[in-house]
Amino acid sequence: MIDALVFLQFNSWKNRTLQRFRRLKQPKYLIGAIFGAAYFYFYFFRFLLRPAHGGQPNAPGWTGQWAADLPWLLETLGALALFTFVTLGWVLPQDRAALVFTEAEVAFLFPAPVSRRKLIHYKLLKSQIAVFFGTLILTVMTGRILQGGVAPFRVASWWLVLSLLDLHFHGASFARTMLLDRGISTWTRRLVVLGLVGGLVIWVGTWAWQTMPAPPEFNGNGDADRANLKYYVRQLTQFGPVPYVLYPFRLVVKPYFATNGWDFFRAIWPVGILMVLHYAWVVRANVAFEEASVEASRKLAERITAIRSGRRQPLEGTRKKSRPPFQLGPSGRPPVALLWKNLIAAGQGFTLRFWIMMLLIVVSVGFGVAPQMHRANNFSMVLGPLAVGLLAFSFVMGPQIMRQDFRQDLPMMDVLRTYPLPGWQLALGELLAPAAILTAVQWCLILFAILAFPSLGKGKLSFDLRLALGFSIALLAPVLNLVSLIIPNASVLLFPGWFHSGPQAMNAGIEATGQRIVFMLGQLLVLVASLLPAAILVAVAVLAGKALALPLSLTIPLAAVGATLIMAVEAALGLWLLGRLFAKFDLAAEGSGN
């Protein structure tokens, strides 16, 4: 029976791979593959293939004693990370044990005369594909960061770590189900696990409090501070309870740092024993996972469908209603209806989770900039430039992040096509929401920057000048956002097959990465070209103002008015072209979401 399952897995993989190779006959995939391969080679593999530096890890900036201490530090960090992963595996999940199968696997395998244990074996075998892929990615990534070492040992070590984690999480899910069957609720389990972890932390803390010297204070001397910190961490992790707590986890990560065959062999056998124990734990578990698996496979199928149709949003059932931004009347300009619709869609992104994330970011940034503020003794020295940085980020990345336009509606393109609206109105309506959101955010940042930006010495950025600059950027922002949004939307309509949300999205290879790189470069080029006339005008105006001895605080806003007019004409032209593209857009084209 297991032969049939191996056959299924092998042939699925083989056919998928062949399909990828076959489609390289199409230029768009071939070009994407070339760019993707070049990216992976130059960014990752080049470092992996580079000759080892004496078999020692050699991260940039680590020299001398630091380089010698690096394996120990990384081993400790690795063990700690593994400890955290395993703990979270027992705390976070709330579902019953569910081996996730595809819907086809559920339909074929569950009614078939296949024992539960064989299904587990099949699942473990199948998860090896993900483990191998993960091994490859982590090897090249860590190879990029940590050059040197012995590549085959690193590959084998990553495989061991990921396989063991895979087995552990399967075993943990079965154990969770058994606890639930015995009346131990999810929250009871969480409290017990967190209680145990908390107990360990208290134990370590108490030991450190009683036996260790106080944590080192930072004196602003980089090397001395680092040396003190290193010494403290070493004492903490080499003595007392920490080595015992981290011992099994340290065993698992140890093979990665082997520098020769003998070291690797000595490090690997304890991991082998752990693996055998885990395997026995998983295959001997007699837990009914089928019902939960059917539900999990349904969710998986929905997620795949969502991605294939270009949606990035959560599944239908998990959506929350969001309040409309304003009351939409039945009469008036139709594009406003699209703005209204897309603002509602955008509103769904502002969930509790989003605000918690924002709060975390603000707190993190606050902690990050607090020392600088303290040193600068001036909040504006940090907050003003921070606002300007965020403003620049919003202009460059905003149109890529805010996608409540054709990119979001690509799967609904056939519905949009039935609307009785001229193409340019549809294009305008589709782009209004992201443009409005970005502009609103940017205006807030501009206001903040005007007020908070420091008046640097010699009055170079006086309040007048800040006001003039702020006014100019605020004036330009709406049209600049529109132009920036037209470009990716036009790309979607021009090359729907290249926009990676079509049926190939779930079966993307390196060509997908390559396609994204080509797209990004193309978009950047077009954006620069569209900015050029306005930039030339501003430059000429500033030079003329200088010649006429006009103050910058007057020249810049005047130039901005001209630049805005130029950009507005470009935006109007772009919208008209986008409308034409939409009218000619053939939904039968590959990757259009149909």
CB contact set of 86 (below 8 Å; sequence gap of 6+): 165, 168, 172, 249
Q: Which of 84, 419, 506, 520 binds other proteins (CB under 8 A)?
A: 419
Cα of 88 vs its chain's centroid, Å: 20
Q: CB of 559: closest distance to other proteins in angstroms?
A: 39
Number of residues that bind other proteins (CB under 8 A): 38
Q: CB of 310: closest distance to other proteins in angstroms?
A: 12
d(CA 66, CA 47): 21
Q: Say if residues 114 and 293 touch (Cβ distance below 8 Å).
A: no
Give residues 481-510 in contact with other proteins (rule: CB under 8 A).
Answer: none
Q: Which is nearer to other proteins, 113 or 420 (CB)?
A: 420
Q: Which of 216, 241, 325, 422 binds other proteins (CB under 8 A)?
A: 422
Q: Which of 151, 301, 412, 568 binds other proteins (CB under 8 A)?
A: 412
Where does residue 322 rank: exposed (0-12), middle (13-18), buried (19+ CB within 10 A)? middle
Q: Which is nearer to other proteins, 144 or 580 (CB)?
A: 580
Q: Which is nearer to other proteins, 377 or 418 (CB)?
A: 418
**E strand or H helix that includes residue 41:** none
**Tokens of residue 239, six digits:** 């003595």
Q: CB of 593: closest distance to other proteins in angstroms?
A: 11
**Tokens of residue 285, six digits:** 């578990």
**Is residue 583 near other proteins by the rule CB under 8 A?**
yes
Q: Residue with structure tokens 């390559």? A: 514
From residue 339 to residue 358, what is the string marking binding to other proteins with x (rule CB under 8 A)? Answer: -xx--xx-xx----------
**Is residue 46 near other proteins by the rule CB under 8 A?**
no
CB contact set of 27 (below 8 Å; sequence gap of 6+): none
Among the listed residues 480, 485, 391, the one whose alpha carbon sits nearest the alpha carbon of residue 434: 485
d(CA 556, CA 561): 9
Instruction: Name the segment binding other proteins (CB under 8 A); options: 129-137, 395-403, 470-478, 586-594.
Output: 586-594
Instruction: Name the segment binding other proteins (CB under 8 A); options: 81-89, 418-426, 468-476, 517-525.
Output: 418-426
CB contact set of 239 (below 8 Å; sequence gap of 6+): 211
Give residues 310-339 in contact with other proteins (rule: CB under 8 A).
Answer: 311, 313, 315-319, 321-322, 324, 328-332, 334, 336-337
Q: Which is nearer to other proteins, 286 or 318 (CB)?
A: 318
From residue 257 to residue 296, what is the string marking binding to other proteins with x (rule CB under 8 A)? Answer: ----------------------------------------
CB contact set of 575 (below 8 Å; sequence gap of 6+): 424, 427, 428, 431, 482, 486
Q: CB of 430: closest distance to other proteins in angstroms?
A: 12
d(CA 191, CA 197): 10
From residue 366 to residue 405, what is the string marking binding to other proteins with x (rule CB under 8 A)? Answer: ----------------------------------------
**Is residue 26 near other proteins by the rule CB under 8 A?**
no
Q: Which is nearer to other proteins, 343 or 476 (CB)?
A: 343
Which amino acid is residue 580, in one-letter code? Answer: R
Q: Say if residues 165 and 85 touch (Cβ distance below 8 Å).
A: yes
d(CA 42, CA 471): 43
CB contact set of 560 (below 8 Å; sequence gap of 6+): 471, 472, 473, 475, 476, 538
Query: Would the CA dihedral through 473, 474, 476, 481 be positive or negative?
Result: positive
Q: Which is nearer to other proteins, 149 or 335 (CB)?
A: 335
Contacting positions for other proteins (CB under 8 A): 311, 313, 315-319, 321-322, 324, 328-332, 334, 336-337, 340-341, 344-345, 347-348, 412, 414-415, 417-422, 583-584, 586-588
